[in-house]
């Protein structure tokens, strides 16, 4: 099966500019995640979708970050305006489990190759 697709692979922008990232999850995966990974750290969740609804966006800086998954398939993450501290790798992941209490613990997340963002 095809993996999680992300684009672009790299992006360099100046602070205060805007940028958008795109993700296409594995076919049939209802749950989609965006993670931010700052150099030297583990990934941190920004937002989680189930189908086209937001499940968790508690760690998304909503004054500058936005994300959507309109048709329950692919998703875009936008930053506007960018700050220097937004320099990171943005990872998209998807997971098969659509629901069911207790079922989540079994299912791994499948990640894309990520987008490396540099803000200058």
Out of 19, 24, 25, 33, name the contact with another protein by CB under 8 A: 33
Q: Of 15-23, 64-72, 77-85, 88-96, which part binds another protein (CB under 8 A)?
A: 88-96
Instruction: Tell me if 109 contacts another protein by CB under 8 A.
Output: yes
Q: How far is Cα 30 from Cα 37, in angstroms, rounded to an integer?
A: 23
Q: Of 12-20, 63-71, 72-80, 90-98, which part binds another protein (CB under 8 A)?
A: 90-98
Sequence-distant (≥ 6) Cβ neighbours of residue 52 within 8 angstroms: 69, 70, 71, 72
Q: How far is Cα 110 from Cα 120, in angstroms, rounded to an integer?
A: 30
The encoded tokens of residue 26 equal 């594995």
Q: Of 17-25, 33-41, 63-71, 76-84, which part binds another protein (CB under 8 A)?
A: 33-41
């Amino acid at each position: 099966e095809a993996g999680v697709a992300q684009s672009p692979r790299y992006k360099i922008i100046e602070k205060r500019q805007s940028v958008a990232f795109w993700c296409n999850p594995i076919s049939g995966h209802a749950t989609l995640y965006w993670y931010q990974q700052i150099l030297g750290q583990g990934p941190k969740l920004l937002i989680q979708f189930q189908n086209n609804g937001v499940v968790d966006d508690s760690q998304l800086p909503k004054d500058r970050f936005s994300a959507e998954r309109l048709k329950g398939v692919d998703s875009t993450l936008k930053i506007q305006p960018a700050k220097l501290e937004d320099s990171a790798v943005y990872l998209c992941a998807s997971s098969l489990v659509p629901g069911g209490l207790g079922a989540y613990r079994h299912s791994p997340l499948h990640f894309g190759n990520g987008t490396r963002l540099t803000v200058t």
